[in-house]
């Protein structure tokens, strides 16, 4: 974005960096939740108190100041569960994004650089992956192999690698034709070194940007999978599972579904804003 906000403290601040800072702040809050959950959460996330079932948030009539965001159908504190749920959401999102980045970038880089058969094989894989309705595929895999942290991360990485492979492949294709690679080869630089020292640094900014978007995508999909009942261990508090549970009480206890929904929205928004900002920041043409 080229336009700027009016002068802020005497400096012109580009809109993207304001939004980027906001995104970073949102992510920082979620990260704080995840790291300091035992300290921040007023209750244990699995603590059941059947006398305090379905309490509304504190600002609603009949709400209790002891449960700021209310309680669920078995009397668990919604706020505590959201705070603990950040752990699963963040770790799954980051792990799936990193795994996808590793696999997708490697394949994309090789496809773009070597071309020919390698490129056709990788492009075919990308097409197959994109042609598949992913959520259906994920449900199938998780139903067959069972849920849990590792399977969920693996399945989500299966969704995110395509983002990396496509972007990195197209960049590698245009890089390959550049003189500096030819010049490097003309002084005897070998292929592995060419990939590591000349190609990878050039595509790294794009990988970082795609990684932040992919983390957002993975968090959302993970919530969807939990919502559908094939996510991580149901005893571990997760936003998607809370959403699923809250769906049954939407008419009577809206807070059970709304607050985890807001938590998902904030995290995904934060990751996307940071991704946008990184994209603008790391694009050398933007300077």
Partner 1 sequence: MTAKLLDIAGLSVRFGATAAVSEFFLSVARGEAVGIVGESGSGKSAAMLAVLGLHPPGTAVSAERHLLGGTDVRRALPRQLRALRGSVAAMIFQDPLAALNPLLPVGVQIAEVLVRHKGLSKRDATLAARALLFRVGIHDAGARETKYPHEFSGGMRQRVMIAAALAGDPALLIADEPTTALDVTVQADIARLIVQLQRERQMGLIWVTHDLALMAGIVDRVVVMYAGRIMEVAPVAALYFAPRHPYTVALLASLPRLDRKRASPLPAPQAQAAQAAGCPFAPRCGRRMAKCEDLPPLFEIGDSLAACWALT
Which residues contact partner 1 (rule: CB under 8 A)?
115-116, 178-180, 182-190, 193, 197-198, 201-202
Q: Give the separation between CA 95 and CA 265, rounded to whole angstroms.
A: 19
Contacts of 125 (CB under 8 A, 6+ apart): 107, 165
Asked if 50 contacts 75 with a C-beta cutoff of 8 angstroms, the reply is yes
> CB-wise, 103 or 173, nearer to partner 1?
173
> CB-wise, 203 or 271, nearer to partner 1?
203
Shortest Å distance, C-beta 123 to partner 1: 17
Shortest Å distance, C-beta 198 to partner 1: 5
> CB-wise, 131 or 186, nearer to partner 1?
186
| Among candidate residues 241, 262, 266, the one with its CA nearest the CA of residue 69 | 262
Shortest Å distance, C-beta 173 to partner 1: 13
Max alpha carbon distance in the chain (Å)? Answer: 78
* Residue 264, burial from CB neighbour count under 10 angstroms (0-12, 13-18, 19+): buried
Shortest Å distance, C-beta 120 to partner 1: 14
> CB-wise, 120 or 197, nearer to partner 1?
197
Phi-psi region of 172 (alpha: psi -120 to 50; beta: other; left: phi over 0): alpha
């Amino acid at each position: 974005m080229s336009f700027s906000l009016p002068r802020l403290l005497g400096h012109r601040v580009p809109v993207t960096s304001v939004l980027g800072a906001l995104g970073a702040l949102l992510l920082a809050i979620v990260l704080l939740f995840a790291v300091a959950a035992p300290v921040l959460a007023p209750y244990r996330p699995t603590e059941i108190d059947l006398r305090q079932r379905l309490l509304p948030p504190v600002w609603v009539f009949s709400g209790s100041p002891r449960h700021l965001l209310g309680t669920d159908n078995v009397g668990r504190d919604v706020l505590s569960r959201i705070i603990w749920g950040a752990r699963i959401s963040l770790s799954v999102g980051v792990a799936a994004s990193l795994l996808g980045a590793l696999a997708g970038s490697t394949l994309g880089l090789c496809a773009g650089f070597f071309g020919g058969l390698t490129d056709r094989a990788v492009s075919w894989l990308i097409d197959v992956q994109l042609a598949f309705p992913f959520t259906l595929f994920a449900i199938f895999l998780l139903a067959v192999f069972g849920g849990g942290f590792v399977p969920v991360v693996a399945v989500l990485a299966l969704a995110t690698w395509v983002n990396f492979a496509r972007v990195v492949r197209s960049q590698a294709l245009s890089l390959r034709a550049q003189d500096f690679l030819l010049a490097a080869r003309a002084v005897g630089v070998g292929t592995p070194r060419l990939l590591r020292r000349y190609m990878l640094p050039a595509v790294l900014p794009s990988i970082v940007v795609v990684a932040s978007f992919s983390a957002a995508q993975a968090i959302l999909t993970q919530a969807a999978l939990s919502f559908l009942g094939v996510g991580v261990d149901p005893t571990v508090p997760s936003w998607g599972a809370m959403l699923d549970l809250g769906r049954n009480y939407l008419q009577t206890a809206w807070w059970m579904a709304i607050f985890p929904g807001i938590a998902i929205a904030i995290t995904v928004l934060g990751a996307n804003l940071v991704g946008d900002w990184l994209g603008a920041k790391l694009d050398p043409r933007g300077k």
